[in-house]
Chains A and B, each alone.
Chain A
């Protein structure tokens, strides 16, 4: 029996690649428990790219790691469910998780050099990954590795298979990491800042590659980044995170052109434009609160221009506002 080379796009459209509901992640510490992620829900359809955007400390990477089951001790999931391709993964044992990781979900991290083993050729690493997750013969796995390198746009793949990671440039290494993530034909790929270490001209190539692979193979991608530009060019939908919560989510065009949450509005206005020049940029004063000093109610209220008494009293739920969803009292009867 041959493994499906790349998960077909047409079948299982109904089952989302990823469904996260009410996920909370906490880090117990001597001075009390820190809540890094607070009731985060998201859903990625097959063939869809969901951008998860936020500033450092917003909890976007932790969300990705929680899905992969790679939270570092003492971090743990304290609530909610994670389903990958319809299967619940947050309750799996480490041994079961090891099987799911790689086969059902792949990961791409920021630094492609540390994600590859410098002592083995790229071909050996690919073949090992393919054979670990399937019962292919060596020859078949080799052919598949070649095909994978071709599909991620590496020129002269036969030659490249015999080379070591240090012989690749940064952009080419990231393509190898993407090939590794795709090796077992997963339903979901978590891409955590995949282009942050790369130059702009290479970044454009990698985001276009992710977009193409997503369309061709039907894999769902969770694209975690701080760069709104990358989201705008790549993602279908976007989740904006602030201090461990999703504050706004929706189709990417709507969130960018018509943001609802004051934080998203501020974020969009703070990005210097490429088209016209303003005397002063709109700025959000202050910075994101630390985990141990999160203000009560809506965590954004100390920086929010519209904040009222209600904002510091209760946390607003994420409710749909037109085409997007926002967690702000402003759209839910005012802040007073």
Chain B
């Protein structure tokens, strides 16, 4: 499964958004321009055939990374490069979005939604071949071939997410960027979609960049995990290591606070504050106001992402000192 050839390399990528008030307000109210550093100096690689996940709370920049990788946003600085795929050309990328209700066109028949990338990229020569491919894709994702004639409103949320997976597969991608693909779905339907995605990965040799806030889903899907906090990766480790031995205090906090169905930690009041606003991030390590082991150094100096135990990389002064 692990071939050690990178499918995706992200190097020192940053993205800054201008969130200033309109020009006139700035002049009249003497307000400065405002920038949000949504993603700051993020680097990681995803190896072919594996699944790399990015987890974090809302506003940590994980969806921005997904959109940078797929080219929906331009990077402010840094490099994103793709490995070589079939026939020596760069790897093809597609994206699956969170909300299956808004990511498919309600006025198009399902067949047309799925056929659009095939027609647009001229992947099939004749219309008959295109339609045959659409039927094949529908069956691949567990729908019926005659569903091509229906409209999206005739399907449930889980089936609609299958349609958007079929559409993503239509252009024969090798890397799928999945932005919270199951968070709008119910648990029993989520299991169906996760199983489908795992099966497709085995059958088609897909590589996944998986964005989620749900640690149990991430544990089920991924090989590598990157934990983001306020635009930066604070810890990156193989899945087993992160879940058994999290190094960064933020990873530890996340693992401590997720509800656990089988071994609930009842009546433990977590007192760890709230994530600060990305508009005005704390100095030094952004996590220091919530960190139980914060030192003087943490308030002043931003820790670098350094090699730690095993294959983990951790951005924490306390962990670096231990080494």
Please list the residues of chain A having a beta carbon within 8 angstroms of any beta carbon in chain B.
55-56, 169-172, 199-205, 207-209, 211-212, 226-230, 232-234, 256-257, 266-268, 270-275, 277-285, 287-288
Decide yes or no whether B21 CB sits under 8 A from chain A.
Answer: no
Q: Which residues of A contact B266 (CB under 8 A)?
A: 211, 233-234
| Given contacts A172-B274, A205-B270, A208-B267, A55 and B188 within 8 Å (CB-CB) | yes
A201, A256, A284: the one within 8 Å of B188 (CB): A284
Decide yes or no whether B262 CB sits under 8 A from chain A.
Answer: yes
Q: Which residues of B contact A170 (CB under 8 A)?
A: 274
Bound Cα distance from A14 to B189, whole angstroms: 41
A203-B257 in contact (CB<8A): yes
A280-B269 in contact (CB<8A): no
B261-A283 in contact (CB<8A): no
Bound Cα distance from A208 to B220, whole angstroms: 27
Q: Which residues of B contact A284 (CB under 8 A)?
A: 188, 191-192
Question: Which residue of B is nearest A233, CB measured?
Answer: B264
| Given contacts A169-B274, A171-B274, A228-B187, A272 and B259 within 8 Å (CB-CB) | no
12 contacts between A and B (CB under 8 A): A201-B274, A203-B259, A205-B271, A208-B268, A226-B187, A229-B258, A232-B259, A256-B261, A271-B191, A281-B195, A287-B158, A287-B188
A202, A226, A288: the one within 8 Å of B274 (CB): A202
B187-A274 in contact (CB<8A): no
Bound Cα distance from A315 to B208, whole angstroms: 44
A233-B259 in contact (CB<8A): yes
Q: Which residues of A contact B260 (CB under 8 A)?
A: 229, 232-233, 274
Q: Which residues of A contact B187 (CB under 8 A)?
A: 55, 226, 228, 267, 270-271
Q: How far is the CB of A197 from chain B (nearest CB, A)?
A: 9
The interface size of chain B toward A, counting residues with CB under 8 Å, comes to 46
Query: Considering the complex of A and B, which 10 residue pairs feature the smallest CB-CB distances, nearest first?
Result: A229-B259, A55-B186, A270-B191, A272-B220, A204-B257, A199-B57, A208-B269, A284-B188, A283-B191, A232-B264
Q: How far is the CB of A63 from chain B (nearest CB, A)?
A: 17
Q: How far is the CB of A151 from chain B (nearest CB, A)?
A: 13
Bound Cα distance from A56 to B243, whole angstroms: 30
B261-A201 in contact (CB<8A): no
A199-B275 in contact (CB<8A): yes
Q: How far is the CB of A52 from chain B (nearest CB, A)?
A: 15
Question: Which residue of B is nearest A284, CB measured?
Answer: B188
A283-B192 in contact (CB<8A): yes
Q: Which residues of B contact A270 (CB under 8 A)?
A: 187-188, 190-191
B269-A212 in contact (CB<8A): yes
Decide yes or no whether B213 CB sits under 8 A from chain A.
Answer: yes
Bound Cα distance from A55 to B186, whole angstroms: 6
Question: Which residue of B is nearest A236, CB measured?
Answer: B266
Bound Cα distance from A257 to B186, whole angstroms: 20
| Given contacts A199-B57, A201-B270, A228 and B261 within 8 Å (CB-CB) | yes
Q: Which residues of A contact B58 (CB under 8 A)?
A: 199
Q: Which residues of A contact B320 (CB under 8 A)?
A: none
Q: Which residues of A contact B274 (CB under 8 A)?
A: 169-172, 201-202
Question: Which residue of A is nearest B195, CB measured?
Answer: A280
- Quick one: which of B244-284 are within 8 Å of A by CB? 253-254, 256-272, 274-275
B191-A230 in contact (CB<8A): no
Decide yes or no whether B217 CB sits under 8 A from chain A.
Answer: yes
A277-B259 in contact (CB<8A): no
Q: How far is the CB of A242 from chain B (nearest CB, A)?
A: 10
For the A-B complex with A199-B213, A281-B194, A287-B159 known, give 11 more contacts whose Cβ atoms are closer than 8 Å: A55-B187, A56-B186, A169-B274, A199-B58, A204-B257, A232-B261, A266-B188, A270-B190, A271-B216, A280-B198, A287-B156
